Structure 1
């Protein structure tokens, strides 16, 4: 008996390294996906205000790779559609905006990649904000779901409080409390469950979307003593930018000269409130990491922290996203996975949210269900200074997807005063093409001009670079089979 017991113990001991290796080869995947969060709200980013404190998100950066220039989408639903399909908006078929709900899609045409991971042996879960119709895909894409249907405002309830949630595809249930804390709690419940297979959790916080409501415990943080500088081009005319930028602006000088928005709120006040709402997110990240550690899953879990896009506070006149500038769009982008991602490293190559999807499939050891538009980030996770020849292309088509982006433009396309545009970032330069006939192009050197104030497209000495980036954009459109190439308006 004793001999058999010792043999059994020895046999189990030989299995332990194999189990650990298998966990590493097919890691759990936690994607923390916030809403309208600028990279300037995270303390480890050099552009953050010096008074911003996010110790738990900063911990992720200390233990993983922080991407300086991470680009996700251009706004809301399109960003989420890009994440779920791994495709640029021009290639997403079967998804349309509507009145109520705000968007609809045909799941037979517009397929989401979590279903493929589910078939490959992952347990999949989505918790939080859902922005694509009232079909959240429970039982098709997700084994577990706690959904706030933002796309159906009549049934959603409040943005931060008194929400109506659907649990595992069930009827809407009124839930009290602060939504950021609620989503964290539901995520912790999922992480603590007994798991006999690796899991994917897409955790979609609705913070820090307007009305930027912080938790009551954070109301007194960031007082009037914290300075908020006024951006250089908060007021028009901005003559070196496209025509719509000559007049665009929601800010005006207040009685004391401090800019105020359309609600007569001073710029420093709303910026401080916005950053207060980030504090609940940061606490949630801390609780998630602690729980992963307590349950023995931290070493075998890929953790990604990012947002659907950034948000501008006065830069170029905006209090919004959608515009093609870094102040509007750049989001925090941090990846942690021991053994696969370097710890405490910074990557300066521009990367895209679309690059996360092939990375996830590579780490999961399963092929993607269709050709993806992004590129596997694994080389940069191992060595952030490794060569990276891939550009980042972004598209803004307002409320349009797929074949609806192929048509000739009418001159009235866009959203909120911002026309359709395309951009391409590679290395230190960014090229912007506003899709309006005879409009000027834009070219910025983001190393010498991070605020994008000097349009090099108008400088004769930079004509060769402009021509080069114009061609790179066309090449990327062709690579991703964009039908709109045939209807691109000619620039000035």
Structure 2
């Protein structure tokens, strides 16, 4: 490693997609052989690719985590006074760090999907804004087409066209303005709504990926799954058709057909990334701009029976993440350390030399950018408390979403621990080095109970470190063996 100081980025471009699995990016080994994302792949060739990124469990908390630097249990005051997705929050109790960045002289912009309530903050958090607010669908319309957007803080207005292309055009408008003022540092948060359902494909890509090999059937696409938690044992959104192919239970379309559509919708997204990169390069600012590409979480297609996010398994929530900036990262490198969405704000602030405006939940990953093989001893806390945030999570359990209960999870270098916040439920623990598909629940193996206890206590320690009120109200778990679970032998209840 060089002894030279880490260079400070002059600008930050944060590209944030929606429901995009790492399997939809062709530079990731888990992608299907026919997937092609050349522009995102360019970032990986010129930057560092993270293999274990967990930005969140679903759309709203992932975005709120970026705006605050806190996990879902720390997003104070955010709640649903009526039905989903009409979130509101008190900006005095739940401030966003972008206001401090703007007050420090940065020109700030946000484009695309917004999901944390009607306070968009134009003129307070943002100098430039073009927002499609999914927390107000009755005013802003659906995903992809027939959208209305709030431009520069104005009321929603019709924009027509296809959302991925629209957001790219707004990003180019933002960059043209920055080219005219090259001395002022800028931050752009570009939030595509692709590839969220209904996975609408741009017309020009409807014929892409026509003749492809069938998508392999995930091993546990069909129930039963006897060694997972109770709700997972019979869970399933797929069935086998007369040809032996998995089809979605609600429409009979094959898994391959759905995965083709999903990846076709990524094509316009990849083109948008390429156009934005080309624009920054044409401005002469490419190599002084920190570029981060990621998604709010991943998406499972068949794995563990899902067509969903929300669940704590890698297939559901693991996202791509690529970081580019010459002098800061070594081109073409890979980092396997587990990182989370809560790590991004403290890293950005550290790299530009600003103090955190309040204690954030994540860690500065600058050491991993400088050396992807650096020692990283921070366990990664993950959680899903459905539509509850902040103080509304203190109770420690709540209503399930689509059959998925609340959960907390801890990811270490090798293991993943899962605690479902359901009274008297078993835990799950996976050795991701030997079982990356998370099929063998080691929490049921007596030889692993000592490790299970360590991870359980580490999870509670992380909840307390981040001042989670639920830490003292978690439902007790069952500690038992596979034989006890399957045979009904006496079991042990663990209260912590």
In which range does the TM-score fall when normalised by the shorter chain?
A: over 0.9
- Matching of residues 21-170 of structure 1 within 5 Å: 25-97=8-80, 98-99=82-83, 102-170=86-154
Residue 267 (structure 1) aligns with? 255
Offset at residue 157 of structure 1 (A): 2.1
Offset at residue 191 of structure 1 (A): 1.1
CA distance in 2, matches of 1:408, 1:287: 45
Pair 1:461 & 2:440 matched:
no
Pair 1:327 & 2:310 matched:
no
CA distance in 1, matches of 2:470, 2:95: 22
CA distance in 1, matches of 2:331, 2:337: 17
CA change 1:474–1:66 in 2 (3 A) is: same
Unaligned runs of 5+ in 2: 479-496
Moved over 6 A (4+): none
Offset at residue 99 of structure 1 (A): 2.1
* Counterpart among 265, 281, 285 of residue 269 in structure 2: 281
Residue 485 (structure 2) aligns with? none
- Partner secondary structure for residue 269 of structure 1: helix
CA change 1:216–1:488 in 2 (3 A) is: same
* CA deviations over 1:90-112 (Å, ceiling 9, x no partner): 11111112427620111111111
CA distance in 2, matches of 1:400, 1:174: 32
Residue 210 (structure 1) aligns with? 197
Moved more, 259-268 or 70-79: 259-268
* CA deviations over 1:49-90 (Å, ceiling 9, x no partner): 111111110110111110000001101111111111110111
Residue 344 (structure 1) aligns with? 332
- Partner secondary structure for residue 307 of structure 2: coil
CA-based RMSD: 1.5
Offset at residue 226 of structure 1 (A): 2.9
CA change 1:22–1:160 in 2 (3 A) is: farther
Residue 471 (structure 1) aligns with? 457
- Partner secondary structure for residue 129 of structure 1: strand
- Matching of residues 408-447 of structure 1 within 5 Å: 409=397, 413-447=399-433
CA distance in 1, matches of 2:218, 2:325: 36
Task: Count matched residues.
Answer: 470
* Counterpart among 171, 177, 201 of residue 187 in structure 1: 171
Moved more, 290-299 or 254-263: 254-263
Residue 232 (structure 2) aligns with? 245
CA distance in 2, matches of 1:29, 1:22: 19
* Counterpart among 294, 298, 302 of residue 290 in structure 2: 302
CA change 1:254–1:291 in 2 (3 A) is: same
CA distance in 2, matches of 1:408, 1:102: 23
Offset at residue 225 of structure 1 (A): 2.8
Moved more, 116-125 or 148-157: 148-157
Note if contact 1:443-1:466 (Cα within 8 Å) is conserved in structure 2.
yes
Pair 1:485 & 2:471 matched:
yes
- Partner secondary structure for residue 161 of structure 1: coil
Note if contact 1:62-1:344 (Cα within 8 Å) is conserved in structure 2.
yes
Unaligned runs of 5+ in 1: 1-20
Pair 1:385 & 2:369 matched:
no
Residue 492 (structure 2) aligns with? none
- The normalised TM-score by structure 1 is 0.93
